[in-house]
Amino acid sequence: MKLYLWLLKFSVFVAAVAAKKDVRRKLTAQLNPGCPENICDDAGNLTNVVHVTSLGASDAIHYIWDLTGKPSALVALCGPDTKLNINWEGFFDGKANTVMFSDAPRYTFGVVLNRLWEYNDEEDVGTFTVTNSSQINAFSLHEFAWERKSFLATEDSVELSVKSRGLHGLPGNFELSLATFATPDHGPMTPHLMHTENSTQIDLVLDTVQTNDSFPQPRFAIEVVLVAMEPKKDNYTVVVKKSLDDEFTPGIFKIVNVASPASVNASSGGYLQYRPVSYTDEDRDVSTSTQTYQSSPATPNNAIKKLNNTVFRSIFGDSVETMLVQSLNVSFGTSGDGFYTKYNYTTWTFVVGYGAPLPDKLSLFVVVVATIGLGVPILLLCCGGCYVCVKRVRNNS
């Protein structure tokens, strides 16, 4: 028993020392920074622009979450003294170059949730491969009105939660939650994605959405636009990694990384990361999980049109045409799961960040159990072997 306790304490100590090596950033957050009362107060909880400054030793990561147009999340690497200014009148009019940094960012990356697809999966394959336009409805997320549910800023994290009742042709309960953190760790919400101190986690929920009556087998997919401050001729790389460990996301042994060339080659670019899982109930576990599928990133014909009414257009103007802009679709559900109407609930969680996506790491609990489970038998075997050898030597003497 004493040996067991000693090993337990030693494992906890090692894990604690390792945890202290994690980089910690200082978070400061503003909701609708500098917005005049006659603009933001009149709109109430419908004006939701969050600016987070994540200060490090020699740089600062700036996050901008914009829910006034198409839902957008931007990550910008800047100097430690860089400030942000918003021309609110021009910003609400959709004008370019109305969001300005005092010093040009060293690098920017982010995503735009552009369109929500509703489609009739006649073949029950799960993937969004329908080509018949009569079996597809497209809804621009710019048309959704997002009302703020909560905004919380602490020294450890910043979180924003918004909801929408949808559109006339697509009523329901839609929720978006965005969060950033001061240190690397697994997210508190299932699927417990691994985030770094340089990333934003986004969670999407589609609850009791009224589907098209003419679609007996309805599913949903979302169009995500990726924007990186890199040459437009390049392409994003999609890597699906497999693992033997499903500790944090039970039943899911894969993780999908969509990374820019700079992230792949030098760990100094942008990436999107997620587990290919969606949940069909608020109680997120194995029994309520289904799959997601992703299309390959493709370059749009008109980057400016894709990025109209987004924070990227507000910052870069027409220069977005020179950036690496590609879009992909992620669909929710798999063959045999009963389609959306069986549970009327679906989710998708992903992380957007700067640098390189962190590989999953084992928790302290697993490390301790593995150390004790493997260490104690090996130690006993060694001690037993030594005892037998010593006894034989004595007997021979």
Q: Which two tokens stand for residue 373?
A: 């489970």
Which residues share a beta bridge with 85? 100
**What is the per-residue pLDDT for 22?**
57
Buried b / exposed e over 157-192, threshold 16 CB at 10 Å, is bbbbbbbbebbeebeeebbbbbbbbbebbbbeebbb
Confidence of residue 361 (pLDDT cuts 50, 70, 90): low
Task: Give the separation between CA 264 and CA 228, rounded to whole angstroms.
Answer: 13
Query: Residue 366 CB: number of other CB atoms within 10 A?
Result: 13
**What is the per-residue pLDDT for 242?**
85
Q: What is the mean pLDDT of the chain?
A: 89
Confidence of residue 237 (pLDDT cuts 50, 70, 90): very high
Q: What is the mean pLDDT of residues 170-191?
A: 96
**What is the per-residue pLDDT for 4?**
46
Name the residue among 180, 266, 262, 275 with its Cα closest to residue 229: 262
pLDDT at 216 over 60: yes
**What is the per-residue pLDDT for 12?**
47
Query: Residue 212 CB: number of other CB atoms within 10 A?
Result: 15
Specify the amino acid at residue 306.
K
Determine what percent of the chain is predicted with pLDDT higher than 70: 82
Q: What is the mean pLDDT of residues 46-67?
A: 97
Confidence of residue 363 (pLDDT cuts 50, 70, 90): very low
pLDDT at 249 over 50: yes
Confidence of residue 253 (pLDDT cuts 50, 70, 90): confident
CB 255 within 8 A of CB 233: no
Task: Give the separation between CA 87 and CA 95, rounded to whole angstroms.
Answer: 10
**What is the per-residue pLDDT for 373?**
53
**What is the per-residue pLDDT for 379?**
60
Name the residue among 353, 332, 352, 355 with its Cα closest to residue 342: 332
Confidence of residue 44 (pLDDT cuts 50, 70, 90): confident
Indicate the range of 77-91, 167-181, 382-396 predicted with least confidence.
Answer: 382-396
**What is the per-residue pLDDT for 252?**
72
**What is the per-residue pLDDT for 369?**
47
Condensed to tens digits (0 to 9), the pLDDT of residues 346-360 reads: 999 999 999 998 775
pLDDT at 269 over 50: yes
Q: What is the mean pLDDT of residues 104-112?
A: 98
Which residues share a beta bridge with 327? 225, 298
**What is the per-residue pLDDT for 248?**
60
Strand 185-186 relative to strand 72-78, pairing: unpaired
Specify the amino acid at residue 116.
L
Q: Would you list the domain boundaries of the chain?
A: 1-23+364-397, 108-361
**What is the per-residue pLDDT for 382?**
66
Query: Residue 155 CB: number of other CB atoms within 10 A?
Result: 10
How many CA atoms, within 13 angstroms, populate the side-chain half-sphere of residue 339? Answer: 17
DSSP calls for 184-199? -EE-SSTT--EE-TTE
Condensed to tens digits (0 to 9), the pLDDT of residues 24-39 reads: 999 999 999 999 988 8
Specify the amino acid at residue 231.
P
Condensed to tens digits (0 to 9), the pLDDT of residues 274-288 reads: 999 999 999 999 999
Q: What is the mean pLDDT of residues 41-55?
A: 89
Q: What is the mean pLDDT of residues 320-339?
A: 97
**What is the per-residue pLDDT for 349?**
98
**What is the per-residue pLDDT for 284?**
95
Condensed to tens digits (0 to 9), the pLDDT of residues 291-328 reads: 999 999 999 999 999 999 999 999 999 999 999 999 99
pLDDT at 9 over 90: no
Bigger pLDDT: 17 or 134?
Answer: 134
CB 63 within 8 A of CB 73: yes
pLDDT at 106 over 60: yes
Backbone phi and psi for residue 46, each to the nearest 5 degrees, phi listed first: -90, -10
**What is the per-residue pLDDT for 365?**
44
Buried b / exposed e over 48-76, threshold 16 CB at 10 Å, is bbbbbbbbeeeebbbbbbbbbbbbbbbbb
**What is the per-residue pLDDT for 286?**
93
Confidence of residue 40 (pLDDT cuts 50, 70, 90): confident
Q: What contacts 305, CB < 8 A, 6 or more positions away? A: none
Bigger pLDDT: 245 or 267?
Answer: 267
